[in-house]
Amino acid sequence: MSPARVAPVVAIVGAGRVGRALGKLLHQRGWRIGAVVTRSPASARAAVRAIGAGKPHGRVPLGRMAGSILAADLVLVTTPDAVIASVARELVAIGGKESGAKDWRGKVVLHTCGALDRGVLRPLERRGAATGSWHPLQTFSRRGLPRLRGSACAIEGSSAAMRWARRLCRELGCTAFQVPRGGKPAYHAAAALAAGHVLGLVEAATRILLTVGFSRRQAAGALLPLTRQTLANFERAGGSRSWTGPASRGDLGTVARHLAALRGFPPEYRAAYAAVTRLSALLLARNPRAALRRLDPVLRA
């Protein structure tokens, strides 16, 4: 099915943080919100209030939501990754002669998981649905809407599903990147390094500063400008030219003192420091092998 010129109807299955945010953003852009499906009627009603539109449905019984879901031009599955496969099997049950409803021929279903491709929706594809995945490369929190304009979106799927994924990108101001078959786990690992793991490192740095007299607010005020400037340097000059710190200068004595200072913390702190130091030298040093030969004895000590 090709995207129509009239405002499309989107059904949202799994309206947690991602589903609510995407539903509200699409509603603000004139899309019509159809079924909003969550685990319970109460959470579905709360999701509809947050989105500002839609028809709430709990996941049971499935028959009651068949008409509402199958009337949509696009079905977005925004559930947690671990339940997408089971949700696909549940959705299959609402179509076909068995339920007295239409089947999935001509319908488009996209999931928003970063690490999985359309294969997880295969039960729906077998029933005739065009399937794919659309993953906005942005963090979603419970406070406010994410800034998707200018963000990347990983897309893949059948030709019909890709047309809808690209339309979503245009509507929300995202840049579409087609990920090759089998590439989504590596793509998502990169996203985890750049977002969640960076947050872990900043939190570790914050807790270290707490032990030397900083308040949490003072630690954030000290570290965030440093981190922002580092990212600005990376954007302007690239990684190698922006690399800073004792390892970048070959100051092994300071690296050793850092490791000694971290003995008073859980072992994960020292392990993370050593691992990130080695990774940085491997990727950013002018002569990675020489840098690692100098660093390894200090990091293993």
User: Could you tell me which of 28, 131, 10, 23 has the C-alpha nearest to residue 73?
Assistant: 10
User: Could you tell me which of 231, 278, 282, 230 has the C-alpha nearest to residue 255?
Assistant: 278
- Pair of tokens at residue 130: 């065009």
Q: Give, in degrees to the nearest 5, the angle at Cα 10 between 7 and 12.
A: 155
- Roughly how many angstroms between the first and final C-alpha of the chain, as a whole number? 62
Q: Which helix (H) or strand (E) element contains residue 93?
A: helix 84-93
Neighbouring C-beta atoms of residue 149, cutoff 10 Å: 11
Give 246-298 pLDDT, tens digit per residue: 999 999 999 999 999 999 999 999 999 999 999 999 999 999 999 999 999 99
CATH homologous superfamily of domain 9-182? NAD(P)-binding Rossmann-like Domain (3.40.50.720)
Give 74-122 pLDDT, tens digit per residue: 999 999 999 999 999 989 888 655 444 458 999 999 999 999 999 999 9
pTM: 0.88
Give 82-92 pLDDT, tens digit per residue: 999 999 998 98
User: Could you tell me which of 42, 60, 50, 88 has the C-alpha nearest to residue 33?
Assistant: 50
User: Could you tell me which of 43, 46, 103, 98 has the C-alpha nearest to residue 69?
Assistant: 103
Measured over the CA atoms of residue 59, residue 63, residue 65 and residue 70, the dihedral's sign is positive
